């Protein structure tokens, strides 16, 4: 399989404007993500997909590859699909790595690509991590996933799932979803043209569109969650972790 890793990045962010260009040490945030993706064994090409000339210039300044996209995309997936449709006609698999996940591991990128080779029925793949704790379980910002016996997603939700009816047995252990995705090229292009679905709109989780339209999402397990940077506090916590 020929694999492309595409990193969607936009300048506008309500909570952290200019996020991709923030510095972590001597590197841009987007540079850290890019270099981690480059270390993946499966990655034949790594591209940043952006609608902002400042981000493109920064990527090129550290030797990376950037492609400009339209500015009206509703999601990062749409931005990835534009680049794949226009510039990557010969790839088999596309891995979508979020541009704010500075500690994404190369083996996690490899894992989502490998799952597509392992499961011929899967159109899309992603990762989850076993997590514990009532606060995280009930946090709507921490997306949860439940799977069948073959490791295929049954449902994703911001609500606590699965519900434990017997309160005495409750241990607050769940599968936390990580925002990294693998797609077969043809499916990615089709997915962005599918109409939004009722559950997707209610939960504001676009992966539910694939499930509601009957496609298989294979979920792999990883030992460590990915640290996404969404707020100034997240940024400082990540910087502090590097200095520790």
Report the predicted TM-score, pTM, of the whole model to 2 decimal places. Answer: 0.94
Q: Which of 91, 79, 62 is nearest to 7 (CA)?
A: 79
Q: Which of 179, 175, 178, 148 is nearest to 160 (CA)?
A: 175
d(CA 184, CA 125): 9
CATH code (residue 192): 3.90.550.10
Are 80 and 8 in contact by the 8 Å Cβ rule? The answer is: yes
Question: How far out from the chain centre does Cα 53 lie?
Answer: 23
Domain range for 233 is 3-243
Task: Report the pLDDT value the prediction gives residue 244, as an integer from 0 to 100.
Answer: 45
Are 124 and 214 in contact by the 8 Å Cβ rule? The answer is: no
Count: domains in the chain? 1
Q: Are strands 23-24 and 27-28 parallel, antiparallel or unpaired?
A: antiparallel
Residuewise pLDDT in 10s, the chain (244 residues): 999 999 999 998 777 888 999 988 889 999 999 999 999 999 999 999 999 999 999 999 999 999 999 989 989 999 999 999 999 999 999 999 999 888 899 999 999 999 999 999 999 999 999 999 999 999 998 999 999 999 999 999 999 999 988 878 788 999 999 999 999 999 999 999 999 999 999 999 999 999 999 999 999 999 988 877 878 888 888 877 775 4
Own/partner long-range contacts of 39-43 (Cβ < 8 Å, ≥24 apart): 39/106, 40/5, 40/95, 40/106, 40/107, 40/109, 40/110, 40/113, 41/106, 41/110, 42/1, 42/3, 42/93, 42/95, 42/109, 42/110, 42/113, 42/114, 43/3, 43/4, 43/5, 43/95, 43/109
Residues 6+ apart with CB under 8 A from 146: 153, 154, 155, 161, 162, 175
DSSP 9: E
């Amino acid at each position: 399989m020929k694999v492309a890793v595409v990193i969607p990045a936009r300048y506008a962010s309500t909570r952290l404007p200019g996020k991709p260009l923030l510095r972590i040490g001597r590197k841009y945030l987007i540079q850290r993500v890019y270099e981690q993706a480059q270390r993946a064994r499966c990655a034949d090409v790594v591209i940043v997909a952006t609608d902002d000339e400042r981000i493109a210039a920064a990527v090129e300044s550290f030797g990376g590859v950037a492609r400009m996209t339209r500015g009206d995309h509703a999601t990062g997936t749409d931005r990835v699909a534009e680049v794949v449709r226009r510039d990557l006609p010969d790839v088999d698999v596309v891995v979508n790595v979020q541009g704010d996940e500075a500690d994404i591991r190369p083996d996690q990128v490899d894992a989502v690509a490998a799952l597509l080779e392992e499961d011929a029925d899967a159109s899309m793949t992603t990762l989850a991590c076993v997590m514990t704790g009532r606060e995280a379980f009930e946090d709507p910002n921490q997306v949860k996933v439940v799977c069948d016996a073959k490791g295929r997603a049954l449902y994703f939700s911001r609500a606590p799932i699965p519900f434990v009816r017997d309160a005495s047995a409750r241990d607050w252990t769940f599968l936390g979803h990580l925002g990294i995705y693998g797609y077969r090229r043809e499916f990615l292009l089709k997915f962005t043209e599918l109409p939004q679905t009722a559950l997707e709109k209610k939960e504001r989780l676009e992966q539910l569109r694939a499930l509601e339209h009957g496609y298989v999402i294979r979920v792999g397990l990883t030992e460590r969650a990915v640290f996404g940077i969404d707020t100034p506090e997240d940024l400082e916590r990540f910087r502090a972790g590097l200095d520790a």
